[in-house]
Amino acid sequence: QARVARIHILDRMIAALPNARPEISKWAPRITVYKIKVERIKDVIGPGGKVIKDIVARTGTQINIEDDGKVSVASSDGEAAARAIKMIKDLTQEPEIGKLYMGNVRKITDFGAFVEIFPGTDGLIHISELAPRRVKRVEDVLQEGDEVLVKVIGMEKGKIKLSRKEALAEEQRLVETEAPAAQA
């Protein structure tokens, strides 16, 4: 008798909604789980929780970070959750050797320029890596606030070595390989 009642209820439910909705309601809560490296947790939390509080305030999400690096982002707005996850990914991404990045010149010194390649991550372009020719002063090539294309050429003791010279050469190679294809 109970089995017959359950089947009757299920039949009524199927009649009301024969297929699952292609997308959940925009008001339904969403929880997205993302894994970060344990040593990068401090970058997401920030001093006194400043960074994570800022992300929560700007996106309207709830964020929970566990000791193993599991980050849970809860929100009823899917776009807000996606923005929060992007902000966290930007804070925790690791530079790859050999990859090109567009960075912002933060500080100029006698021996080179410090460039922020993504939020909270700076690298050094040594003066010898600024241009294919010899450079007397860094200011002759770059100014603070300039956007610059750089290539990660190495990492040593947590410091990132960048090269503008190699990035320009690689960009030139890409242009040369695309130009014959465009003419054909």
**At 34, which CATH number?**
3.30.1370.10
Tally of structural domains, the chain: 2
Please indicate, yes or no, if residue 73 is contained in any of the structural domains: yes
What the block records as the tokens of 163 is 């090269």
Q: What does the radius of gyration of the chain's CA atoms come to, in whole angstroms?
A: 25
Residue 183: the pLDDT is 55
pLDDT above 90 for 18 = no
Tokens 């050469």 correspond to: 169
Cα 40 off chain centre by: 13
- Residue 173 included in any domain: yes
Q: Which domain holds residue 48?
A: 23-92
The reply to whether 11 falls in a domain is no
Is 5 part of any domain? no
Q: Which of 40, 72, 92 is the last residue of a domain?
A: 92
Confidence band for 131, pLDDT divided at 50, 70 and 90? confident
Q: Are 58 and 75 in contact (CB under 8 A)?
A: no
Same domain, 104 and 146: yes
Indicate if 61 and 122 belong to the same structural domain: no
- Classify burial at 52, counting beta carbons within 10 Å of its beta carbon; exposed 0-12, middle 13-18, buried 19 or more: buried
User: Is the pTM for the entire model greater than 0.75?
Assistant: no
Is 53 found in the same domain as 35?
A: yes
